Structure 1
């Protein structure tokens, strides 16, 4: 049996992107909910929960973006011209956020300004990522393997709605992460905030999910025609179950359950996207096989990835293991 390396690489890049979403999602989420915690003491505690790991979380973004350029060069050359502005804003926001994260500790008199910068960078990065996703879902105009749309095609009501949905999702990840890693007043306020964010996120996912099948006939067929309709019918039910688990865990004062259930919401949403997109990498325009680089390139890059990916997974897992447990203001991790 011959293995199609283009689909192997699609799975690798999909995994790298998803790893970035869930790992960098909660530390972006902490920045997004910063305004709900006006006290310096609370904000220091919140940033301490991600200080040992947040740099490593962004490794997956580099791997996903770099892998896309190397393995699916037509996608890179089509998608980036279509999304230059939101991608540039996202990258600048991530840089701005990283600077703010460091400088808020070093400039005490003006730390509140860096806190605003941290919130703004986190929020803009999340919204732009959601807008990028929304633009891919609504479709990119392609002619002769080149972008054929306008400068502002990425800006639509649907893409903005996707941006707000991802903003709410990251905020919920951040709140449930803090519920896991903190105690006392901060944890209590995160539990209350997470309940509201869960309801908001479900509402936004519901609107996006109802809207999506009517954007493109391909999506409608994926969701409502046999045999994919059989699998897609389980996604809304499982989403509702995960949302209930989040709310029940928060109500019962559990630490880990709300965070894991929130991750479940992201996993199911990602699976829903996979059902809609497959086998296209640019929906309706370019399939995974059509966009793949030559076989020799795929083989060469796969050999390097076979070493690189386990290394990243190992040091990421080790970092989270070393800094497991709750954070207390007086003595850090314990």
Structure 2
């Protein structure tokens, strides 16, 4: 029997500091998130970051928490339920980090008689700290506990036409009554070294502004290239020109160089350039979460208005809208029919 495992990032169980600390511990100790030697990572996370970050993060989560729970989890659950209504094989939802573990999700499928799992990382783009860590974790669980289960994985869908169409329609719908000077595509940030580590050629990625434009097998695992391709495709679909949209990267951590330009710097710069009516899209996420609801919709708006902007609109993610559900159902049905 075939089954589906939808997989998103995860969330603390509550906004209590102890729950946030537990979540951050698992997340930040992942070697694909903070990719330094174990002993250095251990000292950094457990000796420094976990002494101050949970309190700050808990405060941020409280700002966006819903009565039903974590927005990311609630939205993902709604999305999953809509998928279940449209297909006739088992579907489970799991998170890479937190109590809704991948191990539980896989076990639930196996307990229903599933012997072939289609893993769906809910990340449009390939990155070692998101897509790759989900795939590796699933492979480890199955190899250790369910060696007879077959695993197949949905590739990154950053440029799939039906995904681009659904994204573009969602953006257009939210821009109908908003007059904008500029649309900013703000992607989740990753360290520059992750780009080079993910390059199978070990020579293509130069982060020099041109390597993303040169054809290469490296693009299959290059987050930066894939983000730029998503923007190009959506801009074409929406009829945006070269002057009224741009890319940026958010959520950097520590002091290492991360992908540029930085979203917060761009927000402060736009009013000086006469772009005072801004719409912000977050295409690295399919579900609204802390990074979109607090960092972009709240903090980003405050930064932009303080810098002299006049109008600011955060475009929600596709979340559980019906067009996105139908796209996912079509991909699942394509896999089922193989």
How does the TM-score come out when normalised to structure 1?
0.32
Greater fraction of residues in helix: 1
